[in-house]
């Protein structure tokens, strides 16, 4: 059985290739509705996974690339920039739990400046990130209003810091 056997394309074509607006239904249950260029997803499109996850936004060379919204089947949602299928640039990731990260991404990981807010209990870190971890200078605010200003390395407190009590 061939790789694409049973898949179905309905839309515009050029030189026997998907080209222009079209809908591609995969035998897996995934569906792509959007723009095509020479058999590749290119431009605006929506990819709905059989699992319930969905991506709406820009495509380039058959990859998620540019601005987009990715809604995961677990309720998480990312709105922001992509590069070659990975979160890259400015973005907001909202977790189903209510926690949220707003900041910079590189190669699918939190990287650069960002704010992470935990929902239960409410706490917040504003500072530098590297490889999805707090790394560099940052401000941590606890649910009781106390604040900690310090350096972090690979997600752990590093060196001395200044702790300010809420009262």
Over residues 85-105, the pLDDT tens digits come to 999 999 999 999 999 999 999
Distances in Å between the alpha carbon of 56 and those of 35, 104, 118, 133?
A: 12, 20, 26, 27
Q: Taking a C-beta distance cutoff of 8 angstroms, is the pair 98, 77 a contact?
A: no
Q: Taking a C-beta distance cutoff of 8 angstroms, is the pair 39, 17 a contact?
A: yes
The candidate with the shortest Cα–Cα distance to 129, out of 145, 108, 147, 143, is 108
Query: Under DSSP, is residue 111 helix (H, G, I), strand (E, B) or coil?
Result: strand
Rounded CA separation 10/24 (Å):
7
Q: Taking a C-beta distance cutoff of 8 angstroms, is the pair 108, 87 a contact?
A: yes
Rounded CA separation 153/125 (Å):
14
**pLDDT < 50 positions in the chain:** 1
Q: Taking a C-beta distance cutoff of 8 angstroms, is the pair 119, 99 a contact?
A: yes
pLDDT of 3: 60
What is the DSSP-derived secondary structure letter of residue 145? S
What is the DSSP-derived secondary structure letter of residue 82? E
Percentage of the chain surpassing pLDDT 90?
94
The count of residues in the chain is 167
pLDDT of 167: 81
């Amino acid at each position: 059985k061939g790789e694409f056997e049973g898949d179905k394309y309905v839309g515009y074509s050029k030189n026997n290739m998907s080209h222009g607006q079209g809908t591609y239904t995969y035998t897996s249950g995934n569906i792509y509705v959007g723009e095509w260029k020479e058999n590749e997803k290119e431009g605006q499109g929506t990819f709905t996974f059989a699992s319930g996850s969905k991506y709406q936004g820009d495509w380039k060379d058959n990859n998620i690339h540019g601005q987009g919204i990715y809604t995961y089947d677990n309720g998480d949602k990312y709105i922001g920039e992509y590069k070659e299928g990975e979160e890259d640039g400015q973005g907001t990731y909202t977790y189903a739990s209510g926690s949220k990260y707003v900041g910079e991404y590189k190669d699918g990981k939190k990287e650069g400046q960002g704010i992470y807010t935990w929902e239960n209990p409410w706490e917040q870190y504003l500072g530098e990130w590297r490889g999805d971890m707090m790394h560099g200078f940052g401000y941590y605010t606890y649910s009781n209003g106390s604040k900690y200003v310090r350096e972090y390395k690979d997600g752990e407190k590093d060196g001395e810091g200044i702790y300010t009590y809420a009262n």
